[in-house]
Each structure stands twice: as C-alpha cells, then as structure tokens.
Structure 1
Amino acid sequence: MLPIEWSVFRKQLSAGRQLPLLSELIGEVEPEEETKQAVAQQRQILQQLEAAPPGDRHSLLIRHIQSEAAKVMKLEPSQLPDPQQGFFDMGMDSLMAVELKNCLDASLGCSLPATVVFESPTIKDLAEYLAMNVLGWNPSTTDNEKLPQSEQELSKALSEVKQLAEDELEASIDRELAELETLLKGN
C-alpha cells in the first residue's frame, strides 16, 4: 500500500481537473472555496509584481519562486533556497519539480511546460524564463545585475564614458532616451 497525502492530492486535483472516478476516493471537495483561495493567491502575486517598480520586479519574482520551492521542499519560511543553487542540488526530486511547476501554474495563472524546472535548473534561471516568456517583461527593465555594483565597476564605467567623444556620448544618450520612451509607451 502506498502512503498518500490526500490533502495535497485534493489541492492538485481541484486545480481545475475534476475526475469523477477519483472523487469517490477522496470525497467531495469544496471547489468553490479552494478555487477562491487559488484565485486570490494568483491575484495577490500578480498585483504585487505589477505594482512593483520595474527594477524591483525581478527580485520579487525570485522571492516568490524561493517561497514556492521552500513549500514544496517542506522548508521553514526562513530557509529560502539560494537562487543560484540548482534545484536538484538543494535536494529536489522530479516529483517535487512537477509540484513546483504546478504551484507556479496556479499562482501565476499560466500553464508552464512540464519540463520547465529541468530546463531552468536554478531559481534565477526560472525567474528569467518566467519574466520573459510568461510575464512578457523586457529583460533590460528588470535586470539590475547589469548595472555596475561595486565602486571598481562604477569607476570603470565612468572612465569608459569619459573616453567617448562628445558626439558619441550625445548619440548614446539619444539612443537610451529613445529606448526609454518606447518602453514607457509600451507600459
């Protein structure tokens, strides 16, 4: 006999997939209540992502994936997994990967490929995939990691700007402003 966590099974079954044969085994599920909770959770994260400044969205998405991965792996909320560490290096197995995919489907209101966790092997990779392919974000508006972070990087960037001729600098600024205007018109 296989041990089954019926509450988990019910949650996954009630996510829009009613199977009459199995409803006899697990009992009647209150689909309205569970659906309301799932919709409320979906709206909450999507509203948070939409309301966040573009530069903060990526980190908010990473925290959401960390939280979902921690739930799947039964970690304490204070033990969020490292976004750079591979899912399988942190102890996730293939069933957990499918469960994480299902949790993200439900919370983001989408249908991800079954192999998404295998093809995006870290939280950071998965966040980038979701940002571009599900949420439709332009990577340049969400990726703060491309900006100079350390004092050394900042001084290097400043010296590169100083080396540009004045005409090149004006042309570069004009291009950047045009890109910003295009992005703002798109939002």
Structure 2
Amino acid sequence: MSEQAPAVESLSALPRSERSEFLESVVVAEFKKVLLMSDDEVFPIDQSYFSLGFTSLRIMEVKTRIEKLLGCTLSTNALFNRPTVENLVEYLADEVLGDLIS
C-alpha cells in the first residue's frame, strides 16, 4: 500500500461535508506562507494572485508546495488560468480530488 500525501490523508479522515473547507484552508495556508503572512491575517481568496503581490516565481513556489501536500502534479496553466485561490480550490476539488471531495 502506498503512502498518501499529508493533506490527502487528512482529507480522507474527515467527513465529506468538511473536506472542501479543509482543502481551502490548506491551499490558503500555503499562499500565506509564501507571502510571509501570519496565521491570524485574512487572505482574500477572491482576489487575483498578482493583485496580492505574487510574481510568477512565487506562484510556482506555491504550486510546488501544493503538489507535495496533495501528492499530485498540477499544470502550471491550471494556476494561471484560475487566478484566485477561490478558483484554484474549485479546480482542485472538482478536477484533481473529485473522488475524494465530491
């Protein structure tokens, strides 16, 4: 049996009704870490990465962190075509982790 990625293991242990919210919190946490935000700061999930101060390099850093947590490979286009955390979480829930979230 293969070992699951940390976030996927945590998601699997949660009731389905709590999985989307947990996924969002995991993704937001990674964006906040890259921006050096504290845990108590609010991260606006509906604002564009670039309006929040992200560069292409920083977005790639977040991509790598999320891939490690979820144990999957994400297309770079997936992040750039979904320019907000809100859009990215929807994509992850529907397209990447659909069987686990839905």
With structure 1 as the length reference, what TM-score do the two structures score? 0.49
Residue 80 of structure 2: aligned partner: 118
Number of residue pairs the alignment of both structures matches: 100
1:105 has 2:67 as partner:
yes
Asked if the contact 1:85/1:122 (under 8 Å) is kept, the reply is yes
Which aligned pairs between 1:40-79 and structure 2 lie closer than 5 A?
42-43=5-6, 45-79=7-41
Further displaced range: 75-84 or 127-136:
75-84
Cα distance change, pair 116–53 in 1 and its aligned pair in 2 (3 A): same
Residue 88 of structure 1: aligned partner: 50
Q: Deviations over 1:42-84 (max 9, x none)?
A: 32x1122112221211111111010000111111122241221
Give every structure 1 segment of 4 or more consecutive aligned residues whose post-TM-superposition deviation is greater than 3 Å: none
CA distance in 2, matches of 1:87, 1:68: 13
Query: Aligned partner of 2:15: which letter?
Result: P
Alignment gaps of 5+ in structure 1: 1-38, 142-187
CA shift for structure 1 position 138: 7.9
Q: Which structure has the larger Rg over C-alpha atoms? A: 1
Aligned-residue Cα RMSD (Å) equals: 2.1
Q: Percent identity?
A: 30
Cα distance change, pair 80–103 in 1 and its aligned pair in 2 (3 A): farther
With structure 2 as the length reference, what TM-score do the two structures score? 0.85
CA distance in 1, matches of 2:15, 2:100: 13
Which aligned pairs between 1:138-149 and structure 2 lie closer than 5 A?
141=102
